[in-house]
Structure formats: C-alpha cells, structure tokens
Amino acid sequence: MGLFQILKQAFTAVPTFDDLNDEFYDSLEEALILADVGAETACDIVAQLRKRVKERFIGRMEEVKDALRDILRSKLEVGDSALTLEGKPAVVLVIGVNGVGKTTSIGKLAKQLKSQGKKVLLCAGDTFRAAAADQLEIWSQRAGVDIVRQNEGADPGAVLFDALQAAKARGTDVVLCDTAGRLHNKQNLMNELAKLRKIIDRECPDSSCETLLVLDATTGQNGLIQARTFKETAGLTGIILTKLDGTAKGGIVIAIAQELGVPVKFVGVGEGIDDLKPFDPAEFVQGMV
C-alpha cells in the first residue's frame, strides 16, 4: 500500500475531530515510515502537526488535513524545483549509477524541452561503455534531437568540448550531457566532474550549469545512501527520481528532499518518452490526504 492510501487510511480511522488521539498520531507516524519518508522526518512531521493543531485551535478534520499537507509541502520545498536554463547553450550534466534510468531520462527531457520550442543537443559523455552512446543515440532519434558522440574510451571532456562547439555553431539552447555511471569512486567522480565544469566555464562562461542526479525510487532508503556520496562530491542542483510508477512508497520523495536538501525537479513515471513530469510539491501533496 502506498503513501497516499496509508495516509488516507490513517484519517479514515478517525472520522471526527473528537477521535483525534495519540493512537491516531502514532498510526500516522507509522504510515509515514512505511512509505519510506524516513524515521526522523516522520517523527518531525507528526510533532509539527500536533503542535499546529494545538496552537492554531484546529477543531475540524479538514483543517488537520490542510495542516498536514502544508507541513509535507514545506518538507518538499528545499529549493527551486524548476530547471535553470540560462545562456546559450544552457548546460545540464546528468549523473547517476548505471541502471537507474539516466539514458531514458535524458531522452525524455530532450523531448520535453524540444516540445517547448528549444533546440536541444545530447552529449554522449559516458565513454566507458560503447553501448551507452548507442543507447543515447537511439533516444536522440526518438526525441528528434542531435547528438555528439565519439568512440568508446574517448575523453569525456573532449566529447563535451565538441558538443559545446557544435551547440554554439548551431544556435542550440540546451546541451544535455550524459556522464559515466561507473564512477563509484568518489575521487574519480569528483575529478571527472571538475574537469567537465572547467570546460563549461571556459567555453560557455555565461551559461547556467545544472547537475542533476538520477535516482531510482524503487531502491528506497538504500538509494539515499548512494545519493549522499554524490551530493558530497558533485554539487548537485536537482534530482530526477525515476520509476516512481514502480513503487507504491511515494514517501521517498520527501526523504530525498529532507535528507539531501536538494529539490526533486522531475519524476519518471514509466518507460515511455512522455513519462517524465516536472515535480510540483504543491500538486504532489494535494492528493495525499
């Protein structure tokens, strides 16, 4: 059972405000933990709700729900959830370990930006696996955007340099750059990203650069451990949370925002090219309780 159903059930058990008791608060906390929100955050949410109900003289269940939605939203709003795209070309580096849905997300994002009238170029920066560039090329065709790639084993910095030159020459609005998914080692990752950033700063000094980490929602709290390493190393500006359709535990969105302090910017809700949604905290909590 997912976060939404669990929360709704916790409320169904308490039909009127007079029934609001410790048992309700306990079951709410349990529900949040079950939905992957994380123990500490769940405890804090319930404590805030208790306090609000008391301090604001809340006396109706609808008001309790509103207060909870408000608290959940504030937990999700840890930064701008919109993508920053400034300069020409704006640059988006996409990082994450293999298998999380990085290539798919780049393809989906390319299609989305293109449908907004932007000229998009993909950069095949994962040169460790030949298959990575091949797969990205398939997505570039699906999205109908250009791609710059080199041979397996090429220097990712050189591929990015080429892509930025091509982007400038072609009047591209956004360069979406894939990066190697096997850089588990912190030092490698840090060196690699620092190198790429240096090239972006030098070639496109007026461009914004987003660094988006792709995370698989189905890995739950384990995914967060992985994310912490990336956060420390990569200077993340946002998260793409994939496979939200594959888990009933939507609470992981709150855990990510809280534990990383980085906004979720997009969620993946399927394998198709249109299955990437911009993440809107207000809309997300609306249907929750």
Residue 96 or 250 having the CB closest to ligand GDP: 96
Cβ-proximal residue to ligand GDP, closest one: 268
Subset of 166-225 contacting ligand GDP (CB under 6 A): 181
Among 35, 42, 95, 100, binds ligand GDP (CB under 6 A): 100
Among 271, 278, 286, 287, binds ligand GDP (CB under 6 A): 271
* HSE toward the beta carbon, residue 214, CA cutoff 13 A: 27
Among 79, 259, 270, 280, binds ligand GDP (CB under 6 A): 270
Smallest distance, ligand GDP to C-beta of residue 269, A: 6
DSSP string, 184-231: -SHHHHHHHHHHHHHHHHHH-TT--EEEEEEEEGGGHHHHHHHHHHHH
Subset of 32-91 contacting ligand GDP (CB under 6 A): none
Provide the token pair at 181: 């998914």
Provide the token pair at 54: 């008391």
Residue 272 or 287 having the CB closest to ligand GDP: 272
Smallest distance, ligand GDP to C-beta of residue 270, A: 5
DSSP string, 102-117: HHHHHHHHHHHHHHTT
269 binds ligand GDP, rule: CB under 6 A: yes
Among 27, 104, 127, 247, binds ligand GDP (CB under 6 A): 104
Report residue 252: phi and psi, to 5°.
Answer: -60, -25
Q: What share of the chain is helix, strand, coil (3-state, %, to 5)?
A: 55, 15, 35
- Write out the residues near ligand GDP by the rule CB under 6 A: 96, 98-104, 181, 242-243, 245-246, 268-271, 275
